[in-house]
Structure 1
Amino acid sequence: MSAESAADRTPAQEGRKSRDFRLYWIAGAIDQLGSQTSGIVFPLVTLAVTNSPAAAGLVGASALAGRLIAAPAAGVLADRLPRKRMMVTSLVIAAIAMAVVLVAVASGTATLAVLAGAAFVEGLAQSGYESAGAGSIRRVLPADDKKALSRLEARNHAVQIAGPLIGGALYQLGRWVPFLVDVTSYLLAACFLSAIRTDLTPERTERTSFLADLRNGLRFVWQQPFLRFVTIWAAGINFTFGALIYYAILTAGRQGAPAASIGLILTLASVGGLAGALAAPAIFSKVRPMTVIVVASWAMVALVVAMSQARQTWTYGLLFGLVFLLSPLLGVIFQSRVIALTPDELQGRVGTVMGTSGEILQTPAPLIAGLLVAWYSPTAVALIFAAALALLAAYTTANLRQLRAGTGAPETDDVPGGKEDLPGGKDVPEAQEVSG
């Protein structure tokens, strides 16, 4: 099935897209809510079972290792196999892994090996689900893709607020209860995805080896200037934001702030992200995306500079909320164009390359933040991260202008790079601002 442009769709086709996008949105919300609910208590359960903070860290590392190890294969398979079946299968495997934890914790037989093994398998399954989901998004996006992508951003931030609160409350009822919710959420998400009617099977014109497919995905990202730019930008933002969060938590902790106040920082950051995602469609209808990109990039630098003068927990939280309010605007613009620039048969690999690059660079962020907080004053550390964001903002501004000049795109283009950038002149859906 070729990806038809929004203008070519009949009302019936657009209605199917909207229905399937809602199912995709709901499935992701349920899945993430369950994962956030159990994720907040997984370290607590491990600590209770082993009485070792190092063991709790090992379980977290096992989940990350599963995701990273599976990512290359998952990206290739997402562009080979029927994507809906791959997503459903991945969710079922994750449900089985968490069911093992549920039974072990409820029966009092949990061990470090069981917990770490289940976390590793869940990480493998999540990698498969996310790769197939990244490959499917173009097929289910409604005509107003920026509005739809903003809803996905809002969903993610809302779940980050609600999930930990629900997990903490359920943990008081019983250590096993959050895992029951997680298992149920995986199965419910699989049911919603099964109801999608759009054909999500990737277009595949030729059969090549696994390694050739992997090389083609990496080569495509690197050879497309805009995709290369977004990959580097996303990796830099993930690292800087991850380090900033730990900087604020560690600094507030050293200043004697209570745990509840430190939790406020994370809550306000998520609320800011939710507000930014909800406001994105209105902002895009009034301001050119090119302007949003430049203004938001440099405004985040100014906010982190202001953070260097923060001395109270609520001030950190407010500034983080404003930073996270701006970041979804950039994410929606970039993701919209990435989806449009990537041929259907490469969607899974491109999404996996970008996601994995960001995840790998984010991994050392807590350690680096901790070392900086130990070595330097809070003011100096904040200015170091502000400088990192300034480099990203300069990189963003320079690349966007160069790409626009290189393609001859007019000033009113959404993002630099038009159809002439596409391999083989392939037609793609335009990012239109129409009411949904």
Structure 2
Amino acid sequence: MVRTVATRPRTVDVEMASHRWRHFIMESPEATVSVAAGPGTSRRRHSPILAAFATSAIGDGLRLAALPLLAVTITTNPVAIAGLAVAGRLPWLLVALLSGVAADRYNRMNLMILVDIMRGLVVCGLVVFIVTDATSIVTLYVVALALGVGETIFESATQGLLPEVIDGNRLPAANGQLYMANLFGTTFAGPPLGSWLFGIGRAIPFLTDAATFLLSAALLGAYRLKHGYNRRVQEQPADRGSVLVEVGEGFRWIRRHPLIRTFLAVSTVANFTQSLVQSLLVLLATRHLGLSESAFGLLLTASGVGAFLGGSLSAWVGIRLGVHRVLLPAVALCLPLFLVMAWTDNSVVLGAALAVNAFLGVLVGVQMSALRQRIVPNQVLGRVSSVSQFFSFGVAIPVGAFLAGLIADWFGIAAVYLFAAAVIVVLLAAVTNQLMPGRVRHAVEALQGA
């Protein structure tokens, strides 16, 4: 009898906790969707979401500098150090597609809050290892892998969340603002600050990183409480099948729609060529042009400025010229830019080419993301976006970096940039017809009217 009385409350507590968990992550079918994109959606209304992303991005930038510095205090083996970058990127190949399923199954904002909390706790765990002097390179691999998994889930949920809380006409501007926030945090502010804090104390940048994750979760939670965000999870058929079946639905949706299929090809090839171009930029600058380390830093700054301007002006360009008139010229202009990078001996010309290249890359990326968010049904948007992320980040970037090294070793550094230009020629031959302004406009109108 005593044993029965003692165990019964525990069973009830577990059931209640499980119910609360399911309610938080999924929301009940009867929940009211009180936050919806509409004409009245204001910039002020989604500014807390932007603030959350910007805060988290600064933390990411801190870690981008501090984690390799911490690794160097453990080992100087170049293979081991490179493995840290591999561990951080591996989730885009292994779990990006599953993250899209999660983003479509569950309440996206709650999912993002939970992911931020878990990432904050993971980094807090790393701080404990640092303070107790128990850190190993394997520990850093596990941390990088865990944070990478969280990043894929967060990104997939973000792609579906934006059209739920922001008016469709403001999506290009919102995507541009998010890109600028990410660029500022991970490129301009975070890495220098992370290096400086690491010099003060090895644990300090990671404590700050954990704080940014938790602050991001708090900002999203405050938004949810203030605006009553309650996403209604789409009703699923009883025979919905396995997770792999749901992943397949994302692929099938893309296969049935030529415009989105074209967007997938453009984003994948664009990231592939950018990986080719960026992987050996340091060698092009220092060995081919004979630039100093500080001059190489200026080249990176020029590229960052171009990307920042692309994010800032993407909405304005789309409004003034029309998205359907922007995509094809922006892709085509990459061809002469890569040829300039291959043949120029002038560092100023190279910096200008890098800046324009970054501007066009961000411009195209923002416009395609905004269009995809407007025309893909919300219930499959996470999976459709995750397919793009899988190929663009999980496949194109590592394959591009690997091939860049092989081509440079066999034919020289300039050959890498010539090869990138040749790839753009092939891409243009494949997608020009689909990206003609009239066809893009008609395809968008047809999808929005479906």
Which category describes the TM-score, using the shorter chain as reference length? 0.7 to 0.9
1:410 alignment counterpart: none
- 1:398 equivalent to 2:433? Answer yes
Shift of the 343–174 alpha-carbon distance from structure 1 to 2, 3 Å rule, reads same
Unpaired segments ≥5 residues, structure 2: 1-32
Any residues of structure 2 matched to 1:106-121 within 5 Å, and which? 106-121=131-146
Q: Distance in 1 between matches of 2:286 and 2:404?
A: 13
Q: Secondary structure at the match of 2:134?
A: coil
- Whether the aligned pair in 1 keeps the contact of 2:107 and 2:232 (CA below 8 Å) is yes
Normalising by structure 2, we get a TM-score of 0.84
- Whether the aligned pair in 2 keeps the contact of 1:43 and 1:57 (CA below 8 Å) is no
- Whether the aligned pair in 1 keeps the contact of 2:254 and 2:260 (CA below 8 Å) is yes
Q: Distance in 2 between matches of 1:95 and 1:346?
A: 29
1:362 alignment counterpart: 397
**Which one is further off, 43-52 or 388-397?**
388-397
Shift of the 374–3 alpha-carbon distance from structure 1 to 2, 3 Å rule, reads same
Shift of the 2–75 alpha-carbon distance from structure 1 to 2, 3 Å rule, reads farther
Unpaired segments ≥5 residues, structure 1: 406-413, 427-436
CA positional deviation for 1:4: 6.5
Shift of the 107–4 alpha-carbon distance from structure 1 to 2, 3 Å rule, reads closer
2:29 alignment counterpart: none
Q: Distance in 1 between matches of 2:357 and 2:407?
A: 21
1:62 alignment counterpart: 87
Q: Distance in 1 between matches of 2:252 and 2:313?
A: 35
CA positional deviation for 1:5: 6.9
Shift of the 131–289 alpha-carbon distance from structure 1 to 2, 3 Å rule, reads closer
* 1:69-124 deviation line (CA, Å, top 9, x unaligned): 22222211111111111111111111121112222223322112211111111112
- Whether the aligned pair in 2 keeps the contact of 1:21 and 1:141 (CA below 8 Å) is yes
- Whether the aligned pair in 2 keeps the contact of 1:204 and 1:345 (CA below 8 Å) is no
Q: What is the aligned counterpart of 1:81 among 86, 97, 106?
A: 106
Any residues of structure 2 matched to 1:21-40 within 5 Å, and which? 21-40=46-65
- 1:163 equivalent to 2:190? Answer yes
1:325 alignment counterpart: 359
Shift of the 415–202 alpha-carbon distance from structure 1 to 2, 3 Å rule, reads farther
- 1:335 equivalent to 2:402? Answer no
Q: Distance in 2 between matches of 1:386 and 1:3?
A: 45
CA positional deviation for 1:201: 4.2
* 1:167-203 deviation line (CA, Å, top 9, x unaligned): 2222222222221121111101111111223333443
**Which one is further off, 273-282 or 373-382?**
373-382
- 1:353 equivalent to 2:407? Answer no
Q: Secondary structure at the match of 1:92?
A: helix
Q: Distance in 2 between matches of 1:179 and 1:122?
A: 13
- Whether the aligned pair in 2 keeps the contact of 1:31 and 1:186 (CA below 8 Å) is yes
Q: Distance in 2 between matches of 1:418 and 1:386?
A: 29
Q: Secondary structure at the match of 2:435?
A: helix
- Whether the aligned pair in 1 keeps the contact of 2:268 and 2:392 (CA below 8 Å) is yes
Q: Distance in 2 between matches of 1:37 and 1:140?
A: 29
Q: What is the aligned counterpart of 1:200 among 231, 240, 245?
A: 231
Q: Secondary structure at the match of 1:200?
A: coil
Q: Secondary structure at the match of 1:400?
A: coil
- Whether the aligned pair in 2 keeps the contact of 1:72 and 1:352 (CA below 8 Å) is yes
Shift of the 314–175 alpha-carbon distance from structure 1 to 2, 3 Å rule, reads farther
* 1:321-340 deviation line (CA, Å, top 9, x unaligned): 11111222212221222112
- Whether the aligned pair in 1 keeps the contact of 2:36 and 2:164 (CA below 8 Å) is no
- Whether the aligned pair in 1 keeps the contact of 2:266 and 2:427 (CA below 8 Å) is yes
Shift of the 106–325 alpha-carbon distance from structure 1 to 2, 3 Å rule, reads same
Q: Distance in 2 between matches of 1:35 and 1:289?
A: 31
2:258 alignment counterpart: 225
Q: Distance in 2 between matches of 1:102 and 1:317?
A: 39
Q: Distance in 2 between matches of 1:200 and 1:243?
A: 40
Identity rate, percent? 23
Number of aligned pairs? 408
- 1:175 equivalent to 2:208? Answer no
Q: Distance in 1 between matches of 2:447 and 2:35?
A: 17
Q: Distance in 1 between matches of 2:434 and 2:181?
A: 30
- Whether the aligned pair in 1 keeps the contact of 2:84 and 2:141 (CA below 8 Å) is yes
Could you say what the CA RMSD is over the residues aligned between the two structures, in angstroms?
2.3
- Whether the aligned pair in 2 keeps the contact of 1:250 and 1:373 (CA below 8 Å) is no
